[in-house]
């Protein structure tokens, strides 16, 4: 448990560092939430100065940071000037929506990538391996923005899926079953976009890990003893290659979160992505920092889960701990 405790302590240090850097960069950016009010002739300079004092925008940067930390302790994560309410009340529904999109996409990407990558590794140099390598290369060259726009165009031309959003209008009182079906239909396009962006990277890593393992003497000896190829591939070789794949899980979560911000903004999914863009455009400093901190927290949670799986699956990690 000391291993996981150290990982948790490192994660807390990362959170502190991200909060300091985010607060500094956002606070040092030119302008603030009240800058545009100065251009309105109907608003007097005295009123703008009073609002700046009310929101604490005239205070030094260290004082602002201390006040923000006090609001974090209270569970508020600061105060949103644009929405006139605590940041936490705005973030948690968006975090749930982001998790609702990214968690199924992560599971689906891994469930697809592991058998395809293992198959390509077992057919190394064959036509299956070359075809899969070509397809993954094509997918890697397509930007996630272009991919999301292409899927939206497909939905618009075919009418098979709704174009953006999370729910259809008029379904608030349609019953739980109809609401769930409508949500599942809206999930298809953004989930497919996330899967297609991350799938080629996962397939290539799975293939690379298994190619090295399949060439190991122990696997070659098991093959010579007559162990069935499918059992050898998916039980013995995959278990031997689990360490780098578990480590890759944390990195894939990071990539999926960064990609989801773009996909959410393009497809109007009400997650952290659109909220962060709105906060940046409005120069809502506490909302920007809160969204960045939530993204960092989700990333650290994914890495901590990968570290826990690695700790449980590899006795060498446990043996190295004092």
* Residues 29-43 pLDDT 10s: 776 666 666 666 677
Residues 145-155 have pLDDT tens digits of: 888 888 888 88
Looking at residue 162, its pLDDT comes to 78
Average pLDDT of 165-192?
Answer: 74
Say how far apart CA 86 and CA 185 lie, in whole Å: 32
Same domain, 178 and 78: no
pLDDT of residue 8: 80
Do 61 and 193 belong to one domain? no
- Last residue within a domain, chosen from 26, 61, 87: 87
**pLDDT recorded at residue 226:** 67
List C-alpha distances in Å: 97 to 162, 236, 295: 17, 38, 13
Q: What per-residue confidence (pLDDT) applies to 80?
A: 82
Give 322's pLDDT tier (boundaries 50, 70, 90).
low
pLDDT tens for 266-284 read 888 888 888 888 888 777 8
Domain coverage including residue 64: 2-87
pLDDT number for residue 219: 67
Render pLDDT for 73-130 as a digit per residue (tens, 0 to 9): 888 888 887 787 888 888 888 888 888 888 888 888 888 888 888 888 877 777 877 8
Same domain, 261 and 130: yes
Q: How far apart are CA 78 and CA 86, in angstroms?
A: 6
Residue 82 and residue 102 in one domain: no
Which pLDDT does position 321 carry in this prediction? 56
Q: Are residues 126 and 62 in the same domain?
A: no
Contact 101, 191 (CB under 8 A): yes
In contact, 272 and 259? CB cutoff 8 Å = no
Of all residues in the chain, the percent with pLDDT exceeding 90 is 0
Q: Domains in the chain: how many in total?
A: 2
Residue ending a domain, among 54, 87, 120, is 87
For the chain, where are the E strands, in sequence order?
Answer: 79-80, 85-86
Residue with tokens 């899969």: 132
Q: Which among 55, 87, 119 is the end of a domain?
A: 87
Tell me, yes or no, whether 129 and 254 share the same domain: yes
- If asked whether residues 288 and 159 sit together in one domain, one would say yes
- Looking at the structure, tell me whether residues 48 and 121 fall in a common domain: no
pLDDT of residue 245: 75
Note whether 139 and 175 are same-domain residues: yes
Same domain assignment for residues 236 and 196 = yes
- Report pLDDT for 39: 65
Q: Residue 189's Cα: distance from chain center in Å?
A: 16
Task: Tell me: do 132 and 96 sit in the same domain.
Answer: yes
100 C-beta neighbours (distance < 10 Å), count: 16
Structure-token match 């920092």, residue found = 289
- List the CATH number of the domain containing 156: 1.10.3720.10
195 and 183, same structural domain?
yes
> Do the beta carbons of residue 292 and residue 276 sit within 8 Å?
yes
Which band of pLDDT confidence, cut at 50, 70 and 90, is reported for residue 236?
low
- Evaluate if residue 318 carries a pLDDT over 60: no
Q: What is the pLDDT of residue 74?
A: 84
b/e map 155-186, b = 16+ CB within 10 Å: beeeeebbeeebeeeeeeeeeeeeeeebeeeb
């Amino acid at each position: 448990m000391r291993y996981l405790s150290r990982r948790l302590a490192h994660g807390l240090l990362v959170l502190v560092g991200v909060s300091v850097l985010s607060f500094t960069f956002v606070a040092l950016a030119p302008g603030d939430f009240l800058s545009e009010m100065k251009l309105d002739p109907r608003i007097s300079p005295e009123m703008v100065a009073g609002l700046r004092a009310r929101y604490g925008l005239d205070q030094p940067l260290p004082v602002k940071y201390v006040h923000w930390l006090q609001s974090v302790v209270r569970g508020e994560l600061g105060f949103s000037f644009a929405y006139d309410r605590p940041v936490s009340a705005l973030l948690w529904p968006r975090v749930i929506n982001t998790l609702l999109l990214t968690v199924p996409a992560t599971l689906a990407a891994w469930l697809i990538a592991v058998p395809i990558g293992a198959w390509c590794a077992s057919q190394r140099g064959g036509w299956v391996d070359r075809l899969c390598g070509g397809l993954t290369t094509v997918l890697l060259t397509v930007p996630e923005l272009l991919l999301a726009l292409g899927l939206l165009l497909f939905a618009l031309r075919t009418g098979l899926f709704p174009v953006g959003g999370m729910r259809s209008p008029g379904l608030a009182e349609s019953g739980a079953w109809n609401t769930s079906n409508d949500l599942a239909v809206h999930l298809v396009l953004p989930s497919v976009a996330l899967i297609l962006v991350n799938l080629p990277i996962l397939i290539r890593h799975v293939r690379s890990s298994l190619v090295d393992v399949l060439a190991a003497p122990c696997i070659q000896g098991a093959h010579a003893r007559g162990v069935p190829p499918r059992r050898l591939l998916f039980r013995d070789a995959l278990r031997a290659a689990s360490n780098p794949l578990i480590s890759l899980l944390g990195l894939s979560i990071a990539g999926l979160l960064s990609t989801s911000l773009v996909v959410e903004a393009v497809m109007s999914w009400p997650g952290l992505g659109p909220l962060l863009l709105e906060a940046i455009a409005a120069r809502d400093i506490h909302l920007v920092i809160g969204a960045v901190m939530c993204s960092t927290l989700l990333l650290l949670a994914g890495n901590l889960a990968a570290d826990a799986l690695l700790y449980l699956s590899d006795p060498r990690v446990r043996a190295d701990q004092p």
